[in-house]
Structure 1
């Protein structure tokens, strides 16, 4: 059994309603030899639709959901969808709305150059480790005080991040922030949002200024996947895991999770995921997991 859930919002005038789009989806899936076994609105207030298939593949189902509904928030799973016991998340452009290194670079007058490298790395066009080292090297000599200013003036949680994390924790989930960014940013961000563990990189500092290097091993795509697997061992094989990210270095983690979400993601990450959040608010994940709004935990 393959189970898909999607949040069917209202649509522009003249583009059809939810029922007509479900009919279009059913026809499309039947042509692809993935007939729909059932389609049910399981939460009218949230417009949450659950579709069950006797067989199929998540990527094919999501592609047809895109065709029928336009990009929507959705999740496809191979079994009944339940609250995960482990939640592992990327930070930059996922739990926060910014890329920290790009914003920090602005204090050094280097944002365009560094942001261009960041974008190519997140698209998977550059080796992540080399791209990180190249960007950090450009920040040599920047005063450490710029980090505190950047945090205070530039860095904001993504809408819904705190409610998502608090609600999952209240239901027994372990929460881990794992980032290719830096502990200087990730530690305070994790405290604000409510993550219990942080894994990331460390900027080297000497004499109150950045040295242009990182300390210790680099947290990369392999690290993210390893952290998810390491943490999941404590919960047993039947427990569900969830991961979310937006870039190419999140793909191994997303693929390793039972519920792998791409958040407003780059094409490669989106293609690897069985869950998608296309709108801004991360509480859409709670709806897709079947957690009623009345049970959300306020930040």
Structure 2
């Protein structure tokens, strides 16, 4: 299934795309697309049945804002330097274990919402990523099979980063990762049954129409299931939590000087195979 949330920011309603690609209203069946829904097999089955029967009201997508596909996110856990080519382009060693950092849930916006350029930003960068959405409480998982069972589905995330804030202002990476609007997500959550191999997905980024990133999850250093298993050794993953699994080569910070960092007025488009497409215009904060 492709689950999404549509409507004004803060007042989104749950929706889904049916087999014909028509937008259907789920608000008569479930209150929202959130961790509670993703952990409820019976509710998900009801949605599948209603979509197959085409008995849900159709929504007109024209002019309808698409929000982030998951509400009430508890935490966003991110994996840095998880593609060999990205580590190499930035001159950093291949990690021996996943590099973990966090983004605040309030950085999340919709897949077509504006991305704000922070005041004082000098090195704003793009990062297309496959995001994992958790559907079962996961602690101390023992195997890839257990990790697979904990995943509700997948979506696209844009791990917007301000490199000067990250790397030149002291401390850890938090200052360059948690500015407002720095985690556009969506357009939809694709349930895990429709993504049989998360290591076979192409990821692409265009900036002002120019292709900048063109990679594959096959090149991840730590594959998706290992990332979920690994994280569960250090923290409890709960339904609705999100994991950003890293970005391939092609970011601005990996380019020769003068590096093509983003500015207000730029347009960034992202795509992951089978998960849809994002588009963000940058404006000053």
TM-score higher than 0.5: no
**Higher RCO (Cα < 8 Å, 6 or more apart):** 2
Look at both structures and tell me which one has the larger radius of gyration over its CA atoms.
1
More strand by share: 2
More helix by share: 1
